[in-house]
Each structure stands twice: as C-alpha cells, then as structure tokens.
C-alpha cells in the first residue's frame, strides 16, 4: 500500500504568499505528475492552518521581528510572518494542484500555543493529528513525502512518519520539494538520510 504525502503546497508558501518559499510553486507540476501517475493507492495533503494571532507569528510577540528566533511555551521558536490563517486565500492549497485527487487533507497548527511543522504531531511531540493512525489503519507500507518547505514541515513530517509508523518505508522526493534556505535544505537532506529516509527524484517515484 503506497501513499503520497503532499506537505503544505499552499498559496502562503508560494511566490505572492505571506511566507514565500523560493520557487515554491515549481513543485506543483511535479506533484501533479505524481498524483496522476496511478502509482499511489492513497494521496494525503497537509495544510498549515493557523488561527489569527498564532504564537508562531512575530506579530503575536511585542517587539519581535519575523525570521528571528523568539520563544513559544518556553522553547526557542522561529518568529514567522503571519501566514496560512484559517479561511484566507493564503491558507488554500495552490489552485493548480490537482486537489480533487487528494483523499485526505490533514490540517495542523491550529493550537495557538504551539507550532506544528509536522503533519503528524505538534513540535513538542505531545498532541498528534491522527494522521499516523489513519495511514496505519489503511495499511500503508510505503510513504513518499514532498512539498514545502523542505527545511521545516517536509523534514519534520518525514522524520515523524519514520518514528511514529515503524516499518513503513519513507522516501523524500527532492524535486517535488523546495526549502526556505539552501543551507537549511542541505542540512535537512543530511538529517533525513542519516535516519534512513531515501532521497529520490520524482522520476524514480514514477518508475517504482
């Protein structure tokens, strides 16, 4: 049972969005080829879905500046610009993504007190979204992960997939993903590889 997890392919992370990832929109045609390939039994997408005033927003902390480290619930936290606010166009999946083929949309980041990079659980690893149970109930044996941003939500989702669903083979699809910084992407890829996540290209995924 093969599943594809499309992480946060939302307007907010594409050019013109509130937290644009360089070339974020370039993942859309690649993701669509994967969706259309017929290689996946199950296609799941995550959606960053913050309430207004979420604690990860610099605007929620007097004196804080976006892209500087701050604190949330006593832990270091990147201060982000306001992004992916529930019900706004910024939070919608990219309009060209073939979302009619998506079986489940997993929203995350709704708790204002904690950030949730991973589609599987909050950053403090306490509250889980239920996605790992769902995928295991569906009998998923293989999970391919891609989307935005490689150095944050994609990486944490792939690592949690591995840890929370022992025995599931996890692969990261590099050309169907983009990150916020080149250094962050390089470090994320190293970290995923070190944990046993295969780093592949979409052409490999389409072939096998």
* Residues at the site binding ligand VGL, with contacts judged by CB under 6 A: 8, 13, 48, 80, 117, 148-149, 152-153
Helix (H) or strand (E) holding 6: strand 2-7
- Taking the complex as a whole, the smallest distance from the CB of residue 35 to Zn ion amounts, in Å, to 23
Whether 23 is a known active-site residue: answer no
Whether 26 is a known active-site residue: answer no
The reply on whether position 122 binds Zn ion by CB under 5 A is: no
Length, in residues, of the chain = 208
Q: Are the C-beta atoms of 178 and 23 separated by less than 8 Å?
A: yes
Whether 14 is a known active-site residue: answer no
Nearer to ligand VGL, 157 or 202 (CB): 157
* Token reading at 40: 């996946």
Beta bridge partners of 104: 44
DSSP 8-state class, residue 155: H
Rounded Cα distance between 121 and 101, Å, is 24
If you search the block for the tokens 């290689």, which residue do you land on? Answer: 39
Nearer to Zn ion, 48 or 151 (CB): 48
Rounded Cα distance between 13 and 94, Å, is 9
Span 22-51, contacts to Zn ion by CB under 5 A: 48
**Contact pattern from residue 48 through residue 77 relative to Zn ion, giving x for each residue in contact according to CB under 5 A and a dash for the rest:** x-----------------------------
Nearer to ligand VGL, 8 or 174 (CB): 8
From the list 48, 122, 153, 155, the catalytic residue is 153
Q: Please give the positions annotated as active site.
A: 8, 108, 153
């Amino acid at each position: 049972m093969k599943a594809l997890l499309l992480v946060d392919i939302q307007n907010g992370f594409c050019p013109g969005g509130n937290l644009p990832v360089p070339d974020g929109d370039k993942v859309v045609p690649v993701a669509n080829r994967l969706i259309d390939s017929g290689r996946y039994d199950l296609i799941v997408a995550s959606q960053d879905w913050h309430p207004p005033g979420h604690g990860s927003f610099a605007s929620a902390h007097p004196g804080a500046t976006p892209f500087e480290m701050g604190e949330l619930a006593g832990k270091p936290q990147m201060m982000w610009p306001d992004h992916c606010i529930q019900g706004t166009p910024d939070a919608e999946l990219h309009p060209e993504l073939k979302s009619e083929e998506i079986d489940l949309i997993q929203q995350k980041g709704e708790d204002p007190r904690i950030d949730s990079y991973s589609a599987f659980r909050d950053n403090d690893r306490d509250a889980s979204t239920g996605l790992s149970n769902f995928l295991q109930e569906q009998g998923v044996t293989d999970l391919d992960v891609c989307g935005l941003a490689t150095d944050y939500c994609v990486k944490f989702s792939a690592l949690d997939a591995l840890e929370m669903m022992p025995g599931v083979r996890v692969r990261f699809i590099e050309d169907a993903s983009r990150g916020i910084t080149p250094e962050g992407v390089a470090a994320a890829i190293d970290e995923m590889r070190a944990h046993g996540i295969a780093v592949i290209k979409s052409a490999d995924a389409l072939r096998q």
